[in-house]
Every structure is written in structure tokens, then in C-alpha cells.
A and B are shown apart, each in its own frame.
Chain A
Amino acid sequence: MDTSDVEDLITKLIEDNPGYDNLIFQVTSLVTTYPPPFLYINDPTTPRIASSVLRALLLGCSKLPLSASPQIRFAHVNAVACFTARLFYDTVLNAMARWTMKWEDGCENWSDQGSGQRWNESIDGFLHGLKAIYGAMGEVTSQKVKGKGKEKETEDGNVHWGGDFRMVLVVEKAERLKETLPDLMVPLTRLAELTQTQITVIFISSVRWQDIKPPFGASPGPYQIDICPPNKEATLSRLTQLFERESRSVTDIDPYHPALLPLYHHFCSILHSICSPFTHDPYELAYISAARWPGFVKPILDDHQHQIDLRRQQPDESEMDVEDHNFELQLAPPPEDTRMRLTRFFTPSFPAALEALYPRLTNAYSWARENAPESGLLALPPARASPIKTKPIAGVSNGQDVITSDVLPQMSKFILVAAFLASTNPAKTDLRMFGRGLDERKKKRRKGGGPRKGSGKNTVAKVPQRLLGPAPFPLDRLIAILGVLLEENDVDSRQIPPQFTIPGEYTDMEIGRVQVYAAIIELTQNRLLHRTTQPDRLEGPPMFKCGVSYDVVLALARDVGVPLNDLMWDPA
């Protein structure tokens, strides 16, 4: 890691972080020479990686010898983590001063020579703190220089020791500063001016400077660096790096054995070609790869293990031979035909992995465990080895519907169906849809599924509500539709007390029960319904929106015996 030259450092950093050449080159050159006081790095796709690159960069710079660059101290803070000004000041000052907190000392912050001075009260204290650190740095540097007896001499212990040491403050997720610490935005961008020190502030953000810039030109314009989304080569080499990082610790037979690297290259290019239309983030690709790769190479590893076991079992061979064979049996990259078979076998599972893992419907660990291929795959004839596992994909969609209907009580299912109908049907159609009996509805229901054409030819065809997302509806409407559903589909399963003689009277009782309201609240808490009005608003009925999809509702409706499509104004 120790590099003695800026050039070396840049080369090494570019090697480690493919795709970030521009950033590394610019920032390193600037920081080690004469940086502008305020830099703004905009990385719209992968700010997390940019931030880690910058951290490595500054760490490298700060370790450079004095012959190559001025002494550099830096603080890397996260605007989300520093949600109060005090937290921000503490974090920055402690990092700048390279101060480690000790639990035994009561986690004291850095203070100037143990004076116990407090820097975190206000921006003013913070500026003084920075100055104090800058001053201390000057003293340390001058002493060091003196001790080493270099030719560069100083007149006295002057604090302003020229341009040979600087501070760098990196703020990650800078867009959050606007919300959490709006008062700090302007001072931060003018920090060099305010402290009269050599300090550079770098903001990293996924939004552009124009969007978070304080009004009235209060901040000076930054030196802006834009980062392009990583291209294919950069992404692939980043994936390869992860592989190499893992294979460094590998000694045994393992998916990350160095011999498998060529196969991994191949694997990654397939992965990239399948997933790149959906995500460019190398981390996401690496996540999917981490889940799929162990299953992908498992047949090869199994085969290899099998070979070794076979050799061990052969008794007639001498000791020497066994050793010889072990030597022969080094894990080797698979031949071309095996690679082709594996590719054909596993390619369909890549989109499945993307579908399940990109939205994190499951985590990589469980996905890898569930989707591991059965052993002896390579021994199977190609026709018998089914290319895709149907089980996990079915588990994503169908399985969940079944579980939903199992978990919810009967009434909650009815409420969700009613909520879906209230959210998709226009309110003015309610009387037509629900106002008459079951048989009539079948007769008079609108023919066909398409939207009714307007009278004039030039009217724009209306987009069905189903595609527009759920519309809000008042609680009363939900209860009324629930009443109709219960009256038509649930009456038979109830024992109606004898005092209720009018048809529908008992349903009226049912829909007003405490548990119905409790169920609505519970569903709202579980986000299966969304409440669109504030809970503390008393006037007017509360409004809700349906929070479950058509497929789920269809399964629920089937479960409780509601003909959902007959009740929808615009059936699918």
C-alpha cells in the first residue's frame, strides 16, 4: 500500500478502481498540489462506490511522504449519520485530529492539548477547532522536519507554515445536508475562507449541485467532477476483483478457487448481458453473482470431489501413485463442452435471480441455498436435466397468494376485496354494480371489457382505473360495498339470530361491528390498505386506498367465493 510517489499512487488506485480514472486523476492531482476550496462530485448511479474510492484515495494521499506531497489530513463524514450539528462537528474534528475515543476516558472528544475546550457548541467553535487542529498540524510537521534535519528551515514556530499541509473534508450524501443541517451548507462551502486555513471541502452526492445549491449565490461555485456510469469492462473487472479477493483466502476446493477464474469471467459476461438492461450498479451485479455462482460451479466441484474419492478408494495403487494422482487432480478450468452445458443449464435462472434478488424479495444467502442444483448434474443426460427449477419461481408468485389467504381472517379478506373494488370502480357506478341482485347483474352487465367509447370521435380514450393505480375512497363506501359482498356471498355461512327478519338486516349488523373497524385499522397498519387522510383529522370520513394488487385480490376473492370480475366495472 505504501507508495512513495503521486504517480504510483494514481496508477495503483486506477488499477483497484476501474472506471474511476477521471475522478482519481483529478482529485489526487489537486489534493497533492493546490486544491480549490470546494469540490463537488456528482455520481448519479453509484455514489457508494465513488465514496469508497475517495476514501481510499485520501488514505493513500495522507500516507504519502513529505517529499511527494504536503501532509494531508482528512475527515470523511456521512450527512445521514451526522444528523445534528454537534454530531457533525464532533465527527469532523475527531477525524481531523486523528483522535481515538477511549471508553475508559469517558469518550472525551479531541481538545487542544487536553485543555478540555469545547468545540462543538456552534459553527464558531467548530471553526476555531479546525484552526486549532491546523495549528497543531503545523507544529507537528515543523518538529518532524526539524528532527529530520532537512534543509528546509523555518524562522520561528510560526503557525502559517506555507502550503505544505492541508485538510480535506469529505461529505458523503451531501444532498441530505439540505434537510438535516440547512444552516451548515453555506459555511461548509466557504470553510477555507472562514477558517483561513488550507482546507478543501468535497461533497459527494447523487444529485447535481444546481438542485441543492443554497439560494442567492451564498455559496461559491464548486469545482465539479461528474462521474459516468461504469461501462461493461469496468463492471466486469470490479466483479473479478471481488472474486480475487475471495480466492486469496481459499485453500480447499471452493467456488472461489483461483483455477475457476476463467469460468467466472465467462459467467460474469453472461450475467452482465442479462442484467445490464435493469441495473448498472456493480454492487447489485456482484450481489446476484454471489448468489448464483456457488450453484453454477457446484456440478464441477462435485465432479472433482467425486474423482478424488474414486482415486482414494482404489487400493491397488501405491503411496507414490496416490500422491501423484493428487498432484494430477488439481482443480482445473472445465473443458469447453462442460462450460456450454452449464451455461445452457443455468442461463434461465439468471433472470429469476434478478427478479428475486434485485427487489430483495429474498436474500442472497437463502436464494443460493434454495437454488443449489442437485448433485450429479453433469452425469445426467442433457435431456433429463431440466434447465430451470420451477419451484422457486412458483414460490414467488403463487405460493404467496396461498399463504395470504391462510393467514387473514375471513372478514379481512372481504374487506380487502371490497377495498379493491372501491379503489378501481368509479364511485358513480356503484349503484349500477351493487344496487341490484346477483342475477340481474349478470344479465345487464356491460358487454366486453374495453372502455366505453365517448360520443364524439375525437374524445381521448380513457385509461382504465386498474392501470392508473388505486383511487382513494371514503370509509363509508368501503363499508357499503362490504355489506353487498357479505349479503351476496356470506349469508349462508352465518347463523342468523331469529330476531332479524328483514333480509339484509343482519348483514347491516355485521358490517357495523367493532371487529370490522378493528380489521380495517389493522390492515392499514400492515399497509394492505393505505390511509390517505391524517389520523388526527376529525371532520369528514377517513379516506383509504387499496394497497394490494389485482392478483392477490383475485386469489382472495376466489377464496371467499366472490366473482371479482363480475363486480369490476372495467374487468381485466
Chain B
Amino acid sequence: MSSIPAFDDTTQSVIYIPYQGLQKNDSDGVEYDLSPSESYRPFQERDIPNGYELRMKVYRAAWTKCLDRVQAIIRDLHEPVVDAVIRHVHNAYKDILPGLPYCEMPVISVTAGPSLLHEITTRLDPDNDGSEDSSMEASPPSSSHPDTFVTHLFPADRPNIMACMKSLVGGFVDRSPDGLEQPKRKPSTSLAPYDIELLEAWYDAVRRAHEPGTPPQLVVLLHDFEQFDPVVIQDLFYICSLHVPSLPLIFILSLSSPPTPSPSYLHLTYPRATLALLRVENFAVPSGPGVLDDILTKTMFDVGFEQDIVIGPTVIDSLSDFFTRHNSSLDALITILHLAHLKHFDDPLTVFVHDDGNLSSLLLQPTSFPFLDHLLTRISAPPASSSVAPSPTHSTAWLNQSVPFLLASIDEARTGFRTKMRKTKVALGLMKRVKEFMLRQGWRSADERSQVELMFEALKGRLGRDGRYLGTMVKKLPAAKLRSVLEDMHTFFQNMPSHVRRDEEPARTKIVAWISELASESESSRSGFVVQLAGMVGGWLTNYFQDNLTSLEECRLWDIWYTGNTPFPSEMINPNIRASIVSGLLHPLDYVNLDDVRQQQPELWELPDTSILFKRYLDSGKMINVYDWFESFAVVLESQKRHRKRSKLNGNNSKTISRKGKGKQRQVDDVMDEDEGENEEDEKWKMEVQARFMRSLHELDYLGFIKHTGRKADHVLRTVFDIAD
């Protein structure tokens, strides 16, 4: 244990305890120190040696690519808001309504996550980029003259007005106003470090240093504004408002609540007297389902971006469900995408996601044979839904396949999958384009599916009907509209990146040809030729959609790049607390040994102490007599002791048994087989049973299963009933 987390620190909302493995127990002789990568090895029977590490490397590359993309999209979304905030900061003391009775203090409330704040900070104060790190605030002074000075206040360490003012004033005056050496302040005879007059004096110096230019503005960023004590902030605002506008202070509040549920957090929390001092301006980043649409479309179905892993419809479904139902934050979205990526790399085959030339030597090792075997089976098996009959040599073809050949066919499958995915993207984009065009023409549609749902359908290969319908509609278009739809399609193809455009050459030439044919026709005519042409275009569109909007699972080895219909483990990010605890207590062994799936129920004595106690708890009535409970617990422990003794006499390895117990039990197991000193042993055993009982009882108590009434001696109340086993 290198570092003990600060559990007593009440300002921390989350404490991370890194898994360091169990300590080696010498008396036991059992190696418990399993690193996570060793303890969790799915599909080990068909993995290559070191497969986990190799896959993790691939995973990291794939996920980084996806994450970068998502973050770039989010940055684009945030850009206008950041611009608006910056503009507002710069004009805060210029755009003042004339005739106001007193100067208001500009306050900007921003509803956004930390990434946006970070962006705002870097834009406002590029020299001093210590946005999240308060120790950086006292960083070396900037040589140039910045337009704004930024200081940060965090709620955790600002319990009172003195600390708050101290960090506000200190955040500014720690930076030298003119880039020169800071004058020394005597702590006793100078102004107190929390005195705003100090800031005034400092700002005077700043103003002189900036002459003849405009003096900078002072921006105060209040992070997690909801967490601040309103009483403190009330005073803070009041004190600062007394010094406006001689100190051009601007407050930026980072709120997590939306600004508009009437009335907003500020109005609910702060009295009118405080609000009257402020000029509040609200900014919010776009949120809600629209953002989800935007991000998913641009990561998944953008022809200009080629993701490594394609997320399957079930994941999209869970993602959109979680996003709309539970948590519409972007962090939740990223977490789910992350988890989907991570889970995908459980499969040993995913080591082939990227083209990696170093694998062939590894595959030749004898330990990789199960893996190769599996791979060979997958490659030689005919595609599941292919209508093409297997070639006559199929049954014997596997005989002359070598490792390089295998790798080459994987490469081929990869290219095939990528092309297929690209074609799907293009087809979906074209479909959207044509549909939008038709809607613009006043075409009524009962289709209210969102982008996300459309994606879902496209991945399932279920958009065939839509394609046919669109084709039929296009067939009925008159000449002028037909021309504009063709031109629309043409620009769509024209705007694609060049490598995609090359693939779509046939489609493009067709469209160009049709346009030129139409050019000779008059605008409004609906001659036979136009009808015929419209029929051709419509037919082509139908076929195009039909060919390209099919399920990705028709590709060879699709499951390397596509998560398909594998269910998303939503229980992992959003479990039911009570159900998880109860099932953990009822089936503890399922959680301990993941790979070792038992067929039959384990005996009661095999379970850990707390589980034994819990089983007995479920058997009892509304009130439990603690002594009876103890007695029944002792009986189980007695039988446990007997079984262990027997298994030991049978020469069984003690390791397998002691694995099931808890840490404390292990130490006593070794002592048990001593026969001498029967009485002393007995005494010791009784003590042990009692200790183990108390420990388990307290554990259940902590979990909230017991209520102490004090009305009846030796009795406790049950709190949980009706557990379906």
C-alpha cells in the first residue's frame, strides 16, 4: 500500500482506491496477487499468448481516435458559446445602459462542463493556463500585458468569506502588475491579504503599467457555483460591488443547472438585494437530444471520418435510452461509447482491428494454435447469409492455407468491411439528402424518426422500404424538380472527400449524364422522355439504397470491426443498488470466480460468513432474535469446519478451499488440524465463531439490513423482505 487515500477529507466527493492486488499471505502459500489483466481473461481457450496486452494496445488506438473525434465535435458545439462569452467579457464595461442609478457588476452564468470553462480560460488568459490547477495560479508572471486577468475560486476550500476573499484577492495580486519583482509585504503592518483594498492598490499599479493602453479586466471564475455557500457568495458580491467600476471585476459562474427553469438557480437562491447588484447574462451550451444526434451522426456516419470500431444498433439504442432517460450529460455519452469500445475488445479476434504486420510470427507459436483454429474455422465457414453456394473446393480449401494467407484474407476482409461501411454511410447520407429535398418540396411524411433512430434502422439493414418509397416518389417528379434533385445529389457527391468520391464514380457519372439529358428538356414539360428519365432515376435510387443499406453482418469477419447486436452492459453503469447488493450476498461466488461457472448451487457452508448470515436472515420472521441467529450461524460454521477437515484428510489441496473463504478465515484453517490441546482449541474456536458472527453482523448493519429498535432485548428488525432467490 503505497498511499492511503484521504478518507477523512470531507471535501472530496469521490475517492479512488486503485486495485493493487491482494497481499501475499505467507502462511497460506497461495499466490493471490493477481493483476487485473491476469484475473480477467475472457475466451482464454482461444486466445493467443499476450493477447490481452496486444488487444489493449489496439483498443487504446481505436478509442483515442473515437474520443478525439467526439471531443472535436463537442469543441465545435462549444465554439459559438465560448465566442459569445469572450465577447461579452470584453464589452462588459463598455456596453452599459445609460441612466442606470448605479454601476452593476457584470456576471456571466455559464451552464457547461469543465471542458468549456477550460476553453474560456485559455482564451481569456493564454499566458496563465492554470485553469484547473490552483497551484498554478501563482505561476511566473507573464511578460506581455494581458487583456484580462483570470482567477479561479473553487467551492471546496472556501467555507467562509475570509477564505473566499483571500483567494480572490490573492489570485490576482500574486501576479506582478508590471512583470517586475513583487514588492515585499510585511504581514503585520501591511494590508491583510483578504482586503479588497489590496486589490485596489495592485490594480492601480496595473493601470499605470498598462498606460497608455486600456487596463485589463479582472475575471473571477467560480467553479461549481451551486456548491458555494450562498451566504458567503452574497457577501462576496456585495463587497465587490462596492468597488465597481474602479475595479473592473467580471464574474463567470459555472452552473450545472440549466439557466431557464423558471426561476433559475440564482433567483431561487439569492435575495433580490444581491441580484440587484448584478447584471446577469446567461449562456448555455446546446444540450438535449439534438446534441446526441449531432455527435453520433458525425462520429458514426460521416463519410470524412473512418472510425475503427462501428457501434452496433443495440449500443446506439442503450445510449440514446440512457441519454434521454437518465443523464443528458456529454460525459455520460462518452462513458458509454468508451465502455462499448472496451467491451468489444474482449474478443481475441479483435487484435486484427488494425493492420499489424508483427502478428505472423506470434501466430506460428504452438500456444497460438487454438486461436488459429478458431480463426480458420471462421474464415473458411461460408458467410452466414450469403446466397452464393460454397465453391466446390471449399471442403478441402483449408488444407493449403498458411498463416500469411490467413493474414492476407483478414486484410481483405478489413478492406471489404471498410468499403461496405463507407457505402452505407454514403447511401444513408444520400437518402437523407433526397428526403430533405422532398420535404422542402412540400412532401408530407409521417416519419418522425430522429437521426439516431434512422442510424439504428440503417445498421439493422431495415431501411429497404424507405428506399423503395423514396424511389417511387422520385419517379413522379416533374422535370424542373427532377433537375434540382439531381443537382442536389450531384453536389452531395461532389462535396465528399476525394477517396470516397472515387469509389462513387459510377453513381456520379450516371447523375451527370442524366442532368445533361434533362438540360435539353423544357422546364415544365412532363413529356414521355421526362417520365421515362424520372423512372430511371427512381429505379436507380431504389436499387442503390437496396444494395448499400444492408446489414453490416453480411461482411466476412464483421465482428472484428462491428459490435453488432451484442448487448450493452447497461447494468454496469446504472445498476439497481439494492438488487446488486442482495444478489452479491446471495451468490457471492459468481462474483469472485468469473470464469468458473458452477452448475449446481454451492452448499451453505461454502459461502462467506456474511452470506451465511444473510441466508439465515431471509429465513427469519419480522424480528430476529440475535442469539438464535448466532446459534444457527455457529451450526453452519461447525459443518464448514468438519468439511474442511475432511477434505484436508482426503489430501485435497487446501488452496482451492481457502480461496472461497475470506481473508481472516484462511489464517485459522491451518491451525485446525492440530488435535492436541482439545480444550484450548475449543475455547479458541468459540471465540472465533463469535468474532466472525460480530463481524458479519456489523457488515449487514452497515449495508442497512438491520434496524435496532431497543424495544425488545436481543432482537433486531429486518428491513428487507420478499427476496426472490
Q: Is A515 in contact with B99, judged by CB distance below 8 angstroms? A: no
Q: Does A223 sit within 8 A of B, measured CB to CB?
A: no
Q: Is A400 in contact with B262, judged by CB distance below 8 angstroms? A: yes
Q: Is B279 in contact with A363, judged by CB distance below 8 angstroms? A: yes
| Cα–Cα, bound, A3→B598 (Å) | 100
Q: Is B190 in contact with A106, judged by CB distance below 8 angstroms? A: yes
Q: How far apart are B274's CB and chain A's nearest CB, in angstroms?
A: 9
* Given A87-B195, A103-B201, A404-B261, A409-B281 contact (CB < 8 Å): no
Q: How far apart are B200's CB and chain A's nearest CB, in angstroms?
A: 8
Q: Is B257 in contact with A526, judged by CB distance below 8 angstroms? A: yes
| Cα–Cα, bound, A547→B257 (Å) | 14
A361, A515, A517: the one contacting B263 at CB < 8 Å is A361
Q: Does A126 sit within 8 A of B, measured CB to CB?
A: no
Instruction: Convert B96-107 into 0s and 1s, putting 1 for each residue whose CB lies closer than 8 angstroms to a CB of A.
Output: 111111101000
**Could you say which residues of chain B place their CB within 8 Å of the CB of A282?**
101
Q: Does B162 sit within 8 A of A, measured CB to CB?
A: yes
Q: Is A513 in contact with B99, judged by CB distance below 8 angstroms? A: no
Q: Is A360 in contact with B192, judged by CB distance below 8 angstroms? A: no
A78, A118, A255, A525: the one contacting B242 at CB < 8 Å is A78
| Cα–Cα, bound, A113→B469 (Å) | 95
- 10 cross-chain CB contacts under 8 A: A78-B242, A90-B192, A90-B195, A106-B190, A107-B201, A359-B267, A407-B261, A407-B328, A513-B575, A526-B226
Q: Does B558 sit within 8 A of A, measured CB to CB?
A: no
B189, B272, B578: the one contacting A359 at CB < 8 Å is B272
Q: Does A532 sit within 8 A of B, measured CB to CB?
A: no
Q: How far apart are B128's CB and chain A's nearest CB, in angstroms?
A: 19
**Could you say which residues of chain A place their CB within 8 Å of the CB of B202?**
103, 107
The listed residue with most A CB atoms (<10 A of its CB), out of B96, B226, B257, B275, is B257
Within 8 A of B (CB), among A380-401: 396-397, 399-401
Q: Does B197 sit within 8 A of A, measured CB to CB?
A: yes
- Interchain residue pairs A-B with the least CB separation, the first 6: A526-B257, A103-B205, A290-B99, A400-B262, A286-B101, A515-B326
B99, B198, B239: the one contacting A107 at CB < 8 Å is B198
Q: Does B196 sit within 8 A of A, measured CB to CB?
A: yes
Q: Is B98 in contact with A403, judged by CB distance below 8 angstroms? A: no
* Given A78-B242, A293-B99, A518-B327 contact (CB < 8 Å): yes
| Cα–Cα, bound, A117→B188 (Å) | 9
**Could you say which residues of chain B place their CB within 8 Å of the CB of A543?**
none
Instruction: Convert A110-143 into 0s and 1s, putting 1 for each residue whose CB lies closer than 8 angstroms to a CB of B.
Output: 0100001110110000000000000000000000
Within 8 A of B (CB), among A126-182: none
Q: Does B268 sit within 8 A of A, measured CB to CB?
A: yes
Q: Is B328 in contact with A360, judged by CB distance below 8 angstroms? A: no
Q: Does A41 sit within 8 A of B, measured CB to CB?
A: no
Q: Is B189 in contact with A109, judged by CB distance below 8 angstroms? A: yes
| Cα–Cα, bound, A120→B201 (Å) | 19
Within 8 A of B (CB), among A332-364: 358-361, 363-364
Q: Is B579 in contact with A509, judged by CB distance below 8 angstroms? A: yes
| Cα–Cα, bound, A91→B268 (Å) | 34
A80, A91, A246: the one contacting B99 at CB < 8 Å is A246
Q: Is B190 in contact with A109, judged by CB distance below 8 angstroms? A: yes
Q: Is A84 in contact with B192, judged by CB distance below 8 angstroms? A: yes
Q: Does A12 sit within 8 A of B, measured CB to CB?
A: no
Q: How far apart are B707's CB and chain A's nearest CB, in angstroms?
A: 10
Q: How far apart are B155's CB and chain A's nearest CB, in angstroms?
A: 11
Q: Does B247 sit within 8 A of A, measured CB to CB?
A: no
Q: Does A15 sit within 8 A of B, measured CB to CB?
A: no
**Could you say which residues of chain B place their CB within 8 Å of the CB of A515?**
322, 326-327, 574
The listed residue with most B CB atoms (<10 A of its CB), out of A84, A103, A525, is A103
Q: Is A525 in contact with B257, judged by CB distance below 8 angstroms? A: yes
Q: Is B177 in contact with A255, judged by CB distance below 8 angstroms? A: no
| Cα–Cα, bound, A409→B97 (Å) | 38
B184, B196, B265, B280: the one contacting A526 at CB < 8 Å is B265
Q: Which residue of B lies closest to A403 (CB)?
A: B260
Q: Is A512 in contact with B98, judged by CB distance below 8 angstroms? A: no
| Cα–Cα, bound, A286→B104 (Å) | 13
Q: Is B99 in contact with A409, judged by CB distance below 8 angstroms? A: no
**Could you say which residues of chain B place their CB within 8 Å of the CB of A308?**
none
Number of CB contacts from chain A to chain B under 8 A: 206
B100, B185, B226, B578: the one contacting A364 at CB < 8 Å is B100
**Could you say which residues of chain A place their CB within 8 Å of the CB of B100?**
286-287, 290, 364
Q: Which residue of A lies closest to B106 (CB)?
A: A363
| Cα–Cα, bound, A516→B577 (Å) | 10
**Could you say which residues of chain A place their CB within 8 Å of the CB of B197?**
90-91, 94, 101, 107
Q: Is A407 in contact with B256, judged by CB distance below 8 angstroms? A: no
| Cα–Cα, bound, A256→B97 (Å) | 12
Within 8 A of A (CB), among B182-225: 183-186, 188-192, 194-198, 200-202, 204-205
Q: Is A527 in contact with B265, judged by CB distance below 8 angstroms? A: yes
Q: Is A397 in contact with B205, judged by CB distance below 8 angstroms? A: no
Q: Does B712 sit within 8 A of A, measured CB to CB?
A: no
Q: Does B227 sit within 8 A of A, measured CB to CB?
A: yes
Q: Does A328 sit within 8 A of B, measured CB to CB?
A: no
Q: Does A274 sit within 8 A of B, measured CB to CB?
A: no
Q: Does A566 sit within 8 A of B, measured CB to CB?
A: no
* Given A360-B280, A407-B287, A552-B189 contact (CB < 8 Å): no
| Cα–Cα, bound, A483→B165 (Å) | 46
Q: Does B139 sit within 8 A of A, measured CB to CB?
A: no
**Could you say which residues of chain B place their CB within 8 Å of the CB of A444?**
none
**Could you say which residues of chain A place their CB within 8 Å of the CB of B239?**
78, 80-81
Q: Does B258 sit within 8 A of A, measured CB to CB?
A: yes
| Cα–Cα, bound, A103→B185 (Å) | 9
Q: How far apart are A508's CB and chain B's nearest CB, in angstroms?
A: 8
Within 8 A of B (CB), among A66-116: 78, 80-81, 83-84, 86-87, 90-91, 94, 101-109, 111, 116
Sample of 7 further A-B pairs with CB below 8 A, known A359-B267, A364-B97, A409-B327: A80-B239, A84-B192, A101-B201, A106-B184, A118-B188, A515-B326, A515-B327
Q: Does A475 sit within 8 A of B, measured CB to CB?
A: no
**Could you say which residues of chain B place their CB within 8 Å of the CB of A516?**
326
Within 8 A of A (CB), among B248-268: 256-258, 260-263, 265, 267-268
* Given A101-B197, A360-B276, A526-B256, A118-B99 contact (CB < 8 Å): no
**Could you say which residues of chain A place their CB within 8 Å of the CB of B189?**
108-109, 111, 116-118
Q: Is B235 in contact with A513, judged by CB distance below 8 angstroms? A: no
Instruction: Convert A205-222 into 0s and 1s, putting 1 for each residue whose CB lies closer than 8 angstroms to a CB of B.
Output: 000000000000000000
Q: How far apart are B259's CB and chain A's nearest CB, in angstroms?
A: 9
Q: Does A522 sit within 8 A of B, measured CB to CB?
A: yes
| Cα–Cα, bound, A512→B704 (Å) | 15
Q: Does A366 sit within 8 A of B, measured CB to CB?
A: yes
| Cα–Cα, bound, A102→B202 (Å) | 8
* Given A514-B575, A515-B574, A552-B262, A527-B278 contact (CB < 8 Å): no
| Cα–Cα, bound, A255→B279 (Å) | 22
| Cα–Cα, bound, A195→B361 (Å) | 95
Q: How far apart are B315's CB and chain A's nearest CB, in angstroms?
A: 14
A107, A291, A410, A514: the one contacting B185 at CB < 8 Å is A107
Within 8 A of B (CB), among A271-308: 282-284, 286-287, 289-291, 293-294
Q: Which residue of A lies closest to B261 (CB)?
A: A404
| Cα–Cα, bound, A90→B150 (Å) | 27
Q: Does B632 sit within 8 A of A, measured CB to CB?
A: no
Q: Does B444 sit within 8 A of A, measured CB to CB?
A: no
| Cα–Cα, bound, A84→B192 (Å) | 10
Q: How far apart are A125's CB and chain B's nearest CB, in angstroms?
A: 11
Q: Does B179 sit within 8 A of A, measured CB to CB?
A: no
Q: Is A548 in contact with B576, judged by CB distance below 8 angstroms? A: no
Q: Which residue of B lies closest to A490 (CB)?
A: B325
Q: Does A365 sit within 8 A of B, measured CB to CB?
A: yes
* Given A359-B272, A404-B260, A519-B327, A242-B99 contact (CB < 8 Å): yes
Q: Is A514 in contact with B574, judged by CB distance below 8 angstroms? A: yes
**Could you say which residues of chain B place their CB within 8 Å of the CB of A185?**
none
* Given A103-B183, A107-B201, A246-B98, A87-B194 contact (CB < 8 Å): yes
B183, B242, B263, B578: the one contacting A81 at CB < 8 Å is B242
Q: Does B492 sit within 8 A of A, measured CB to CB?
A: no
